[in-house]
């Protein structure tokens, strides 16, 4: 079997490659423009003839079909995946997340791919009307990142209803783990290690953090589960206060850093906690009791 992973040299994508390689799924083609992806994330697979990294930007749809020929499954992770990055560079986020997703779906349909698994985001909901947030919550994106993911979801739905392409949609909460950068947990772990203050924007935020291995498991199961037409939240089902996170990082790092409180950033959603009933029933995934259990093993990484 051939599997294609767009964004496969990135944070979540490289962990998915690790899992696919362990499962010996067959041929694995990684497509990444290396904007956020890093070849060193795939260093463990150097020399593996079943894994090929191709530097390609999904905003260029011309060559995608040839890459997708013969593929059974496409895991579509390539995106501008940083909220503030999407706000500061609206053009790139639209091109990568909307145009790129359309190109992936079009090429997959033309190449006869069985299923595309699309990584959406909790950002499609915007500010929660109530907690926890279920999949039936209106899509009311607060920022350009959420808007681009909502557009991608709609295109995925239409490619299924119009062309028969199987499309599975996972709405990811705040994923954390090794190889990530530019987001709150790696930023704070690095600051704590270096003895710098942890910059806290706002402080009242409530965030649902989910360990990267749980997300990878959800992706694998979404490739075969009966979930077409049913977006699924993937999270811990627990909200963590951003101040509690800061204190937890200081504790696991044995750091003496202080908290530097700054005004909240208007583009960021204030409170989110995922309702994960569908994750449990359709993907048969149970989250860990402690959503931040992975912090300890990240201390040395960062």
Q: Show the CA angle centred on residue 171, arms to residues 165 and 172, nearest 5°.
A: 130
Q: How many CB atoms lie within 10 A of CB 54?
A: 12
Q: State CA 152 to chain mean position distance.
A: 14
C-alpha distances in Å from residue 133, one per residue of 274, 281, 283: 5, 16, 18
What H or E segment, with its residue span, contains residue 245?
Answer: helix 242-253
- The gap from C-alpha 184 to its chain's centroid, in whole angstroms, comes to 15
Encode burial over 174-194: b for 16+ CB neighbours within 10 A, e otherwise. Answer: bbbbbbbeebbbbbbbebbbe
The tokens describing 271, both together, are 């409170």
Q: What's the token pair of residue 129?
A: 């009307």
Please compute, for residue 203, the number of CA atoms within 13 A of its CA located in the half-sphere on the CB side.
10
Angle at 214 between CA 245 and CA 6, to 5 degrees: 105
Three-class secondary structure of residue 241 per DSSP = strand
The verdict on whether 145 is a catalytic residue reads: yes
**Angle at which helices 184-194 and 242-253 cross, to 10°:** 40
**Angstrom distance (rounded) from CA 182 to CA 160:** 34
Distance CA 274, CA 283 (A): 15
Point out the catalytic residue in the list 145, 155, 176, 302.
145
- What residues are labeled active site? 145
């Amino acid at each position: 079997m051939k599997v294609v992973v767009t964004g496969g040299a990135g944070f979540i994508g490289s962990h998915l490659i690790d899992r696919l390689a362990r499962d010996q799924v067959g041929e694995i083609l990684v497509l990444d423009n290396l904007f956020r992806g890093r070849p060193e994330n795939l260093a463990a697979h150097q020399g593996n003839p079943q894994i090929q990294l191709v530097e390609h930007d999904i905003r260029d749809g011309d060559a995608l079909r040839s890459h997708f020929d013969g593929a059974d499954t496409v895991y579509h992770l390539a995106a501008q995946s940083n909220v503030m990055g999407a706000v500061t560079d609206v053009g790139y986020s639209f091109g990568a997340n909307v145009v790129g997703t359309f190109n992936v779906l079009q090429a997959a349909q033309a190449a006869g791919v069985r299923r595309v698994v699309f990584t959406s985001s909790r950002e499609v909901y915007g500010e929660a009307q109530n907690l926890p947030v279920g999949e039936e919550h209106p899509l009311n994106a607060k920022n350009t990142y959420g808007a681009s993911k909502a557009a991608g979801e709609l295109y995925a739905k239409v490619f299924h209803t119009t062309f028969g392409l199987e499309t599975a949609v996972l709405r990811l909460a705040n994923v954390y783990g090794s190889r990530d950068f530019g987001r709150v947990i790696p930023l704070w772990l690095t600051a704590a290690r270096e003895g710098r203050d942890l910059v806290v924007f706002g402080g009242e935020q409530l965030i649902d953090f989910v360990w990267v291995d749980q997300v990878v498991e959800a992706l694998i199961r979404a490739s075969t589960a009966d979930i077409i037409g049913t977006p699924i939240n993937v999270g811990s089902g627990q909200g963590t206060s951003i101040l509690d996170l800061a204190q937890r990082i200081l504790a696991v790092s044995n750091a003496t850093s202080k908290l530097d409180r700054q005004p909240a950033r208007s583009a960021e959603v204030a409170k989110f906690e995922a309702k994960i009933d569908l994750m449990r029933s359709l993907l048969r995934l149970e989250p860990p009791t402690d959503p931040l259990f992975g912090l300890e093993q990240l201390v040395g990484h960062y």
